[in-house]
Structure 1
Amino acid sequence: MSDTLFSNFETVRYAGPDSDEPLAYRYYDADRVVLGRPLRDHLRFAVAYWHSLAMNGSDPFGAPTLQRPWMDRSDEMQAARDKADAAFDLFRVLDVPFYSFHDRDIAPGGDDLRSSLHNFHEMADYLGSKMQSFNTRLLWGTANLFSHPRFMAGAATNPDPDVFAFSAATVKHCMDVTKQLGGDNYVLWGGREGYETLLNTRVGQELDQLGRFLSLVVEYKHKIGFAGQILIEPKPKEPTAHQYDFDTATVYGFLKRYGLENEVKLNLEGNHALLAGHSFEHEIAMAASFGILGSLDINRGDPLLGWDTDQFPSNLQDTTMALYHVIKAGGLGLGGCNFDAKIRRQSIDPADLVHAHVGGMDHCARAFLIAASIVEDGRLDAALQERYAGWEAEAARDMLSGSETLESISDKAEAQNLSPKPRSGGQERLENLISRFF
C-alpha cells in the first residue's frame, strides 16, 4: 500500500489511566474481560466511512474546509481507491474491529443506475481485497437514498414509482455487497422518508409504500441467506418536518402494523434521540423492552442547536446510563458502537480525526466499565425489585395474565375497600447512588 494520510501514525495502544500520551487508550483495554467477555466484544467499535473519509467540512453556511488528497482527483474511481487505502490505514491506527459505509461513500455514482452499480461492485471487490490484509470487518452496509436530487421527496415513500424501483434496485445490490463482505447487519436509514407539508402528501399511501419496501428487503434477506440483522435507524426530523421513523416507539408501531416486528431491529443514535425530545438511554430502554435493540450510533447532539451536529460523545454519565441499559438488555449481539460522528469543520488536520476516535473509544470504554460496576453492585436493581415487589403476588399477577376481567378486579377492590397510600419513588437517593460511581 502506498503512503496515505495516516501512514505516519503508529497504531494506538492501551497505556492505562495514568498515561499522559495524547494518542493512547487509557480505558479501552480491548482484551480486558468484563462481565465474562473482552471489552472489544462488548463494544464492537466501528468507524463510519462517511463522516471520517467522505466529509469535507461544509455546512449550510460555509464551504468545505477539509481538503483530503482523494477529494481533488480527476479520476473518480482512483479517488475511491485512494480513499479506501486511507480508510484501512486509519483502521490500523485505531486498531478498530469494524467499519460501516453507504454505497456512495465507497464509490462514485454514475450517469445512470447501471454505471452506478458497476462502480459500486468494483469498489466492493477492492474493499474485499483490502479486508484480506486487515483485521477490520464490516459491521454494516447501507444505501444513500437521500443525497441525490431524485430523492428530494423520499425513496421508498416517493410519489414517483420509478424512484421506488430505483431505490429497490440500489438496496438489493447493497445487500448483496454487505453479504459478500461478511457484514453483520444491513441498515435502512430513511433520511427523507417523511414529509415537508401535508398539502402535497398522502400519508397513508406513503406508509404503505414504506411498509412494502421493508417487506421486500426482509424477503430478499431470506432468499439470499443473509444471516445478519436488518436494522432501521429512527430519526424524527431534519431535513423533513416529520419523518415516519420518528423514534423507537413509532417505529415499533410501524413494524407491528406491517407484521415485521420479529424481522427488523433498530440502530439507535444518540443525536437522533435528542432531536426526538428523548435521552439516548430512553430510546435504548424502549427498544430493549420491545425486543428490537440491534445496534448503536454513538454520538451526541448539542442541546442548544436543533439539528444533527453528530459530535463525538463526551458526557460520561449519559453514555454510562445508555450502556447500562445495553448491558441489562443482554448486550448488542451482532450490533456494535458505530461512531456516526464527525470532527468539527475547524479541525482540519488528520491528527484531529485520530484524536476524535481515540477519545470516543476511551470515553465509551470508561462508561461501559462504570455501567458494569453499577450492574455488579446490584443496588439499583435491588431498588427496582423492591419498588415493583407487589406485582410478584399471585393476585397482582392474575390482573396481568388475562385471568381477571375489569369487573372482577373492580369487585375485589371494592370488597377489600382499597385505599392505597402514596409511596416515595426515592429519585434523589438513586441519583446519589449513581453519582457516586463517577
Structure 2
Amino acid sequence: MNKYFPSVSRVEYRPDAAADETLVFRHYNPGEVVHGRPMEEHLRFSVCFFNAFRYLGGEDHYGDRTHVRTYDDGTRSLDNYKRRLMAAFEFFTKLGVKFYSVSDRDLAPEGESLDETNRVLDEMVTLAADLQKQTGMRPLYFACDLFSNPRYMNGAGANPDAHVFAYACAQVKQGLEMAKKLNAENFLLFSPRDGYQSLIQRQVFRDLSHMAQLYKMAAQHREKIGFKGQLLLQPKPADPRRHQYESDAMTTMGTLRHFGLEKHFKLDIKPGFSRLQGRTYEHDVIMASAFNMLGSVDASDSYPEVNGTSDVHAHDTRVATLVMKCILEQGGLQTGGLTLGGRLRRESVETKDLFHAHILAMDTYARALRNAAKIMADGSFARTLQQRYGSYKSGIGERIEKGAATFEECEEFVRKYGEPQPQSAHLEHYDNVLNYYVYPPRQ
C-alpha cells in the first residue's frame, strides 16, 4: 500500500530523533512492556475514520473545504467511497495501528431507499472485510450515523416523530449486523442531536423512554444475531445550540440504571475541556470507571476557549496521564481502546499533517502511559489518599464505611468528641506530586 501517501513510510519508533523530525514516534514503542503488558495492548489505538477522512477542512458559515485529497473528489459516488477506504487502510498501515473506528455513513452513502442503502453498505463492508484480512485490522467500534441526515435534525431515538424513530431502529439493526460481519470489538450508539433546545417543546421523560427503548432493542438484536461486541454510549457535553440528554457520564449512567439497561452498556468517554460546564473531562473518565462503566476513550482534546468540544488532536500530557492512571487502576479497557478522535485544523492542508497529528496524539498517550505506570509503581498517590481517608479504618468511620452506622451513633460520637478539626485538602501538594511525574526533573 503506497498509492495515496507515497511520501510517507511506515512510522517508526525513534526516541533519539531530532526536534524537527516529526514523522517518527519518540514515545510510542508498541512492543515495550509497561506495567506488565506491551504498550500497544494497553493503548489499543484506533483512528477515527470520520474525523480523519470525512472532515476536509470545511467550516459551517465560515468557508468551504480546504483539504484537497487525491483520493477524495468530494462526491457521493461509490467510487469515491472506495478510494477513500483504500487510502484509509494505507494510512492505518503506515501509522502502525491495529484498529479503526467507523460508522455506516463513513463507508457508504445513502441510496434512494432503505433497501438500496443497505445493499450499498453491505457491498462496502465486504470491501472493508477484504482490506481487514490483508492488513490484520478490525474496527475498535462500528457505529451508526444518527445525526448527519436532515431526517435526524430533531434527534433519532428522542425524535418526536415515530417515523424517524423507526428509521433509526432500522439503521441500527443493519449496523449491528455489519459490525458482526467486520468482527468489531464494540458497537457505539452515538446520537448527539437527542436533546432539546427548549423545554417548552419537549416531553422529557417520554424522550428518554423512547431512547431507552431503542437501546433495549439494540441489546436484544445483538443477542439475537450472536454479535459478541460490547455496546457503548458516548456522553456528549452540552453546547450552545442544544442540551443533550446524555450530556455527561453520571447522567448517562443514571438513565441506563433507571431503565434497567446498565448491564448491556459501557461508556465511551471523550476527555477534553468544556468552558460551558467548567471542568475537564478526565472527570467523566474517572466517574465512569468508579461505577465499572468505562468501556473506551475518545482520545482527543478541546480548545479551552470553545463552548462544548472541538476535537483537537490530543496533546495535553497532564490530562492524558490522569486518564491512563484511571485506565491502569481498573485493569485496562478490555474490548475498548483509545480512539484518535481529533481533526486537523482547517489550515493544515498537506497530507503529512494528518500523520503529524496522529503521531502527536499517540506519543502524548504513550508518554502518559509511562507516567501513569510510574505513579502506580511508586505508590505516592495511593499512600497519600489512604492517609486522607484514614479516619474510616476504625471506630465510627469503620462502621460508616461498612454501612452499619446509625444517626444515633453519629450523634453520640459528636457529643463525645466535639467539633471536628479542619483538615487541609492539600490540593497544591497533589498538583506538585502529579507534576513530578508529568514533567519529571532533569537527570
Q: Same fold (TM over 0.5)?
A: yes
Classify the secondary structure of the residue corresponding to 2:267.
strand
Could you say which residue in structure 1 is the equivalent of 2:54?
A: 54
Residues 383 and 355 from structure 1, CA distance in 2 versus in 1: closer, same or farther, beyond 3 angstroms? same
- CA distance change for structure 1 residues 67 and 230 in 2, over 3 Å: closer, same or farther? same
Displacement after TM superposition at 1:308 (Å): 2.9
Question: Hey, what's the Cα distance between the residues in 2 that align with 1:126 and 1:332?
Answer: 29
After TM superposition, give the deviation of residue 73 of structure 1 in Å.
Answer: 6.8
1:399 corresponds to which residue? 400
Distance, in Å, in 2 between the alignment partners of 1:238 and 1:366 is 31
The superposition leaves residues 375-429 of structure 1 with CA deviations (integer Å, 9 ceiling, x where unpaired) of: 1111111000111111121532322434332233323433x24322112222222
Percent of residue pairs bearing the same amino acid type: 33
Q: Tell me if 1:83 matches 2:90.
A: no
Contact 1:121 1:177 in 2 (8 A): yes
Partner of 1:94: 95
| Residue-by-residue CA offset, 1:200-233 (whole Å, 9 max, x unaligned) | 2111110110111111111222222222211110
Q: State TM-score, norm by structure 1.
A: 0.95
Aligned equivalent of 1:141: 142
2-side partners of 1:97 and 1:265: how far apart? 22
Query: Could you tell me how far apart the structure 1 residues matched to 2:340 and 2:380 are?
Result: 31
Deviations 1:156-202 (A, max 9, x none): 11111111111011111111111111111111112100011122211
Range with greater deviation from structure 2 (318-327 or 18-27): 18-27
Distance in 2, matches of 1:266 and 1:31, equals 28
RMSD: 1.7
Aligned AA (1:335): G
- How far, CA to CA, are the matches of 1:92 and 1:214 in structure 2? 34
Q: 1:349 to 1:142 in 2, by over 3 A?
A: same
Shift of 1:135: 2.6
Structure 1 distance, partners of 2:68, 2:13, is: 30
Q: Distance in 1 between matches of 2:406 and 2:96?
A: 58
Whole-Å Cα distance in 2 between the matches of residues 74 and 343 of structure 1? 21
State the partner residue of 1:43.
43
1:418 partner letter: G
1:25 is matched with 25
Shift of 1:372: 1.1
In structure 2, how many angstroms separate the alpha carbons of the residues matched to 1:383 and 1:401? 22
Shift of 1:307: 4.0
The TM-score, its normalising length taken from structure 2, stands at 0.94
Which runs of structure 2 are paired with 1:226-305 in the superposition (5 Å)? 226-238=227-239, 240-271=241-272, 276-305=277-306
2:48–2:101 contact (8 Å) kept in structure 1: yes
Between 322-331 and 100-109, the greater mean CA deviation after superposition = 322-331
Amino acid at match of 1:363: T
Secondary structure in 1 matching 2:312 = coil
Q: What residue ranges of structure 1 are gaps of 5+ in the alignment?
A: none
Q: Does the CA-based 8 Å contact 2:99-2:138 persist in structure 1?
A: yes
2:170 counterpart residue number: 169
**2:311 aligned residue:** 310
- In structure 2, list runs of 5 or more residues that go unmatched: none
Amino acid at match of 2:4: L
1:298 and 1:173 map into 2 onto residues whose CA distance is: 27
Aligned counterpart, 2:73:
72
Aligned-partner residue type, residue 356 of structure 1: A
- The Cα of 1:18 is off from its aligned counterpart by 4.6
Q: Counterpart of 2:225?
A: 224
Equivalent-residue separation in structure 2 for 1:428 and 1:146 (angstroms) = 43
SS of the equivalent of 1:72 reads coil
Distance 1:341 1:278 in 2: 19
Instruction: Quote the Cα distance in structure 1 between the aligned partners of 2:433 and 2:289.
Output: 23
Q: Output the amino acid matched with 2:39.
A: L
**Distance change (3 Å), C-alpha of 1:17 and 1:382:** farther
Contact 2:275 2:308 in 1 (8 A): no
Q: Specify the code of the residue in structure 2 equivalent to 1:310.
A: D
Deviation at 1:91, TM superposition (A): 0.6
Deviation at 1:70, TM superposition (A): 3.8
8 Å CA contact retained: 2:234, 2:269: yes
Q: What residue number does 1:16 align with? A: 15
Q: 1:397 to 1:228 in 2, by over 3 A?
A: farther
Question: 2 CA distance for matches of 1:4 and 1:310?
Answer: 28
Contact 1:246/1:276, CA 8 A, preserved across alignment: no
Match in the other structure for 1:347: 348
Judged with a 3 Å threshold, the aligned counterparts in structure 2 of structure 1 residues 275 and 342 are, in CA distance, closer, same or farther, namely: farther
Distance 2:374 2:201 in 1: 52
Residue 311 of structure 2 is aligned to residue 322 of structure 1: no
